Chain A
Amino acid sequence: MSEEKLPPGGPAVTQTGHEDTRRFRVYRYKRGDGGERFDEFEVPVGPHTTVLDALRWIKQHEDPSLALRFSCLHASCGTCGMQVDGHEELACVCSVQDHGEQITVEPLANLPVLTDLVVEMDGFFRRFPHEHPIIRSSGCPSEGEDGEAHLEGGHEVTLDLPSLVPLHHHPLHHHHRAATPAVDFVRLEDCIECGLCLSACPVAATSHDYVGPAALAAAERLLEEPRGVEREDVLAWANRPEGVWRCHVGLECTRACPADAIPAERIMALRRELMFGDSDDEEGKR
């Protein structure tokens, strides 16, 4: 193997002296180019090679036309979401060592493919309620001269709650997600809007009208920290057939979520709020 073809993530030689490789079956689609297909590539891998490393290696050494989307390389931006052997993963933190000799890589499900492993995320973001722009976690408020927080687009809010809530006060606290040495906390701003939950959702596979787990989780998160938005408006938005009631409790969204935003539990919290008018019931106080 030539030096420039060495894999990322360590040497491609095992302890027994054999070269370690994986066969990648990569989904390909180019508009106007004869439909969908899978291409196979033999990729040298090391002990720390991720799926994204391997795909970038393919792009660099085998097929420059392979299109993929990535940015931060540490599971923070949520742009490299894809299906690896049928599981929703962020490719940048998905180790090839956790998979077999052949690894199948496909774009996210339930969203239109733009090209190869890149999907059109517009359909994902359109599911967030446009009447509550603050519901998007990427709509970060900034403090103005008047001391009040402002959102891009002129939506004014007042921040009167911290973005961290003590875990034992939070209705979803039984999901032990973030911990400090002193006190456990539930972060309310965990969603990285990667779309993995929508891809994993079996209901979204058959209902394009379904709002989806991420938007509903964001709505529930807004109930926890309203920031000037009327709770009733948020509940009215969620309380519709294509909203919380379309969920069939498959719980795949929570399983797929790489940021532990627990969307399924948040959907159920929304339902509890709608049915009993009390999201802080005994479920939350346990």
Chain B
Amino acid sequence: MSATDELPGTAEREQPGPIRHKGPGPSESGWLDPRGRGHGGRALALHRVTGLVIVFYLYLHLGVLSMLLVGSSAWSSFLSVVTAKSFLAFEVVLIAAVLFHGLNGIRVAFVGSGIAVSRERALFWAGTVIGTAAVIFAALHVLGALS
């Protein structure tokens, strides 16, 4: 049978099928969707997200510091904005992101090197408790409740 005489659908059957991924959106989001995940998968997703947040903040921080080149008046007016209570809430979010990323990083380093595999869940919950307490303390401190 020649190529022109082939049965309908023959070419389509040769095509590879789709690859399903967890969650909607492009395949790259497969790690991001927390549905159907355990604490390990969710921690991995949050670790990546907080990592991106920290990288974004690093460049934002460098950009903000460059305002010093403009002059003291520009810097002072900027400080009046970022020291407002509403803006300081973002700082608490940043602290939470840094704490989660750091504490989870310690857990991943221990477990990933095969040192504390059997204590992985205990490490996760220990980090959660320590991180939560630290965020609460930081929030009270940053927002001025302790001063």
Contacts and interface: CB of A to CB of B under 8 A. Distances in A.
B20 A27 contact: yes
Interface string A243-268: 00001111110010000000011001
A206 B22 CA distance: 11
Interface string A266-277: 001111110110
Interface residues on B, range: 35 or more
Contacts of A114: 17
A174 B36 contact: no
A44 to B, nearest CB: 26
Contacts of A100: none
A112 interface: yes
Interface stretch (A4-12, A83-91, A228-236): A83-91
Given A31-B9, A85-B36, A120-B17, A205 B117 contact: no
Nearest to A272: B114
A110 B111 CA distance: 25
A269 to B, nearest CB: 6
A130 interface: no
Interface residues on A, range: 35 or more
A248 B44 contact: yes
A202 B13 contact: no
Given A114-B17, A120-B17, A272-B113, A205 B31 contact: yes
A31 B13 contact: yes
A36 B28 CA distance: 19
A112 B33 CA distance: 19
Contact of B114 (A110, A112, A174, A268): A268
Contact of B21 (A205, A247, A269): A205
Interface string A21-63: 0000001010111001000000000000000000000000000
B38 A252 contact: yes
A27 B22 CA distance: 13
A18 interface: no
Nearest to A273: B114
A273 to B, nearest CB: 8
A87 B17 CA distance: 21
A111 interface: yes
Contact of A275 (B30, B43, B114, B116): B114
Given A32-B12, A206-B27, A268-B112, A112 B44 contact: no
A269 B19 contact: no
A109 B113 CA distance: 27
A107 interface: yes
Contacts, number: 128
B30 A109 contact: yes
Contacts of B118: 174-175, 283, 286
B9 A255 contact: no
Contact of A86 (B12, B16, B22): B22
A252 B19 contact: no
A255 B38 contact: yes
B38 A251 contact: yes
Contacts of B108: 248-249
A269 B116 CA distance: 11
A31 B114 contact: no
A179 B15 CA distance: 47
Given A31-B12, A32-B13, A110 B30 contact: yes
19 contacts: A27-B20, A31-B15, A36-B18, A83-B20, A86-B33, A87-B36, A109-B22, A111-B19, A120-B16, A202-B31, A202-B41, A202-B44, A202-B45, A206-B28, A206-B30, A206-B31, A265-B117, A268-B113, A275-B113
Interface of A: 27, 29, 31-33, 36, 83, 85-88, 106-115, 119-120, 174-175, 200, 202-203, 205-206, 247-252, 255, 264-265, 268-273, 275-276, 283, 286
7 tightest Cβ-Cβ pairs between the two chains A and B: A32-B12, A205-B30, A272-B114, A86-B36, A251-B40, A202-B31, A113-B17
Interface of B: 9, 11-13, 15-22, 27-28, 30-31, 33, 35-38, 40-41, 43-45, 108, 111-118, 120
